[in-house]
Structure 1
Amino acid sequence: MEALSLSNQFLIAMPGMTDPLFARSLVYLCEHGEHGAMGIIINKPSGIAMAQLFDQIDLPLTEEALQGEPVYFGGPVQPERGFVLHTPVGNWQTSLLVTDELALTTSKDVLVAVSENKGPDTMMVSLGYAGWSSGQLEEEIRNNGWLTVNADPHIIFALPAEERYDAAMALLGFDPTLLSTDCGHA
């Protein structure tokens, strides 16, 4: 029997999530399999603007529309490392193909291309990622920590960060105030 993959899904933190790193978090799952899961928190700006990031890595950022865009806190794992969630996929050195249209790139060549106005059409840059060991995410879901729903790229790339959590909740089709923080097992 093939294991269920939650890649290309949103993980929505349950309203009762008490971990301050993940409370009201919306995670885009890039990879999920027998060895664990990896995703990017897409609704928590880090306080760093793209212009600052590009200054720190000694690259010019001439496109004014990008200069003020936020760099996101992608998660607590490797917070010193950059991750670029983007579309179209392109041909970068180190990319994880999530769908035929969306990829996660960790190599600097994508940022060099952005500085030369040759980067992806749409992107979101984060520092760090969220990771789960084998079976850990499934256990957190069973314990009522997360809801899952098919991801919508519009939420990732077109909505302001503060609207993304509620927009993902709306994809579920019910009122989240009716959710219980308690879980039961048969």
Structure 2
Amino acid sequence: MGAEGKTPRMTSHDAAGRSDDSDHRGYLDGQLLIAMPVMGDPRFERSVIYLCAHSSEGAMGIIVNRPAGSIDFPELLVQLDIIQKADQIKLPENAESMKVLKGGPVETGRGFVLHSSDFFIQDATLKIDEGICLTATVDILKAIAKGAGPKHAILALGYAGWAPGQLETEIQDNGWLHCDADPDLIFGGDVEEKYLRALRKIGIDPGMLSNEAGHA
């Protein structure tokens, strides 16, 4: 997906302005998607995706278990002119350790911050559920660099998107399972283990999975 080495674009007002559907039954925003072996798309193999939006118009989510290679958060802050290179050593602990992930194959040059709901920017932060928000503006990165950001956060480069009805079809074809969101699966540090932990959360033994579509 080629996200390495790119500086993410962060906008001034990005996540706000979406209208809530009055009838939301059947939609999965705020849930985790877990890729099944029959998925067949290498871009999503063994991925765990947090669904930020799902409606009759399609779906958008962030992959939460795919590291963005050699990119680290302090270096991105320097690239975005949020801090000077000499100030990297002065960053608060949660900024130094913040995970940078490949959020998906769409717009890999854009940055999206999934974070706990203890941080909110008017007209910029999208509240997805009680505990999780999405902000795609540079202001949240500035806040994190100053130690004034959310308690939990990950920065994703790019996102996963589905056309109207596409995600529903993939789920019917056993491409995805879904479960309630788990903040530890979203923000936890053991990125490489999230897929196995997500399967166990829904009661599936990873060793029992095959490439055949056999479960209903």
RMSD over equivalenced CA pairs, Å: 2.1
CA contact (8 A) 1:89 1:100 kept: no
| 1:135 corresponds to 2:170 | no
How many pairs were matched up?
186
Which consecutive unaligned segments of at least 5 residues does structure 2 have? Answer: 1-22
Residue 91 of structure 1: which of 113, 117, 120 is its match? 120
CA deviations on 1:75-106 (whole Å, 9 max, x unpaired) are 01111111000012422142221112210101
Q: Label 1:159 to 1:69 Cα distance change in 2 as closer, same or farther (>3 A).
A: closer
- Tell me which residue corresponds to 1:124: 154
Q: For residues 89 and 32 of structure 1, what CA distance do their matches in structure 2 show?
A: 23
User: Match for 2:33: what amino acid?
Assistant: L
Q: For residues 103 and 151 of structure 1, what CA distance do their matches in structure 2 show?
A: 12
Residues 1-186 of structure 1: matches in 2 within 5 Å?
Answer: 3-47=25-69, 48-60=71-83, 62-92=91-121, 93-183=123-213
Q: For residues 97 and 91 of structure 1, what CA distance do their matches in structure 2 show?
A: 8
User: Match for 2:113: what amino acid?
Assistant: V
Q: Label 1:14 to 1:103 Cα distance change in 2 as closer, same or farther (>3 A).
A: same
Q: Label 1:3 to 1:135 Cα distance change in 2 as closer, same or farther (>3 A).
A: farther
TM-score (normalizing by structure 2) = 0.79
CA contact (8 A) 1:89 1:103 kept: no
Q: For residues 161 and 53 of structure 1, what CA distance do their matches in structure 2 show?
A: 19
CA contact (8 A) 1:144 1:181 kept: no
1:110 deviates by: 0.7
CA deviations on 1:121-153 (whole Å, 9 max, x unpaired) are 110111100010110000111112111111111
CA contact (8 A) 1:89 1:97 kept: no
Q: For residues 174 and 78 of structure 1, what CA distance do their matches in structure 2 show?
A: 32
Q: For residues 179 and 50 of structure 1, what CA distance do their matches in structure 2 show?
A: 35
Which consecutive unaligned segments of at least 5 residues does structure 1 have? Answer: none
Q: 3-state SS of the aligned residue for 1:119?
A: coil
Deviates more, 1:104-113 or 1:171-180: 171-180
CA deviations on 1:26-53 (whole Å, 9 max, x unpaired) are 1011111111111000000112110121
Deviates more, 1:169-178 or 1:78-87: 169-178
Identical amino acids, percent of aligned pairs: 44
Deviates more, 1:30-39 or 1:57-66: 57-66
TM-score (normalizing by structure 1) = 0.91
Q: For residues 100 and 194 of structure 2, what CA distance do their matches in structure 1 show?
A: 15
TM superposition outliers: structure 1 runs of 4+ over 4 Å: none
Q: For residues 14 and 73 of structure 1, what CA distance do their matches in structure 2 show?
A: 19
Q: For residues 2 and 130 of structure 1, what CA distance do their matches in structure 2 show?
A: 21
Q: For residues 64 and 121 of structure 1, what CA distance do their matches in structure 2 show?
A: 11
Q: 3-state SS of the aligned residue for 2:68?
A: strand
Q: For residues 114 and 2 of structure 1, what CA distance do their matches in structure 2 show?
A: 33
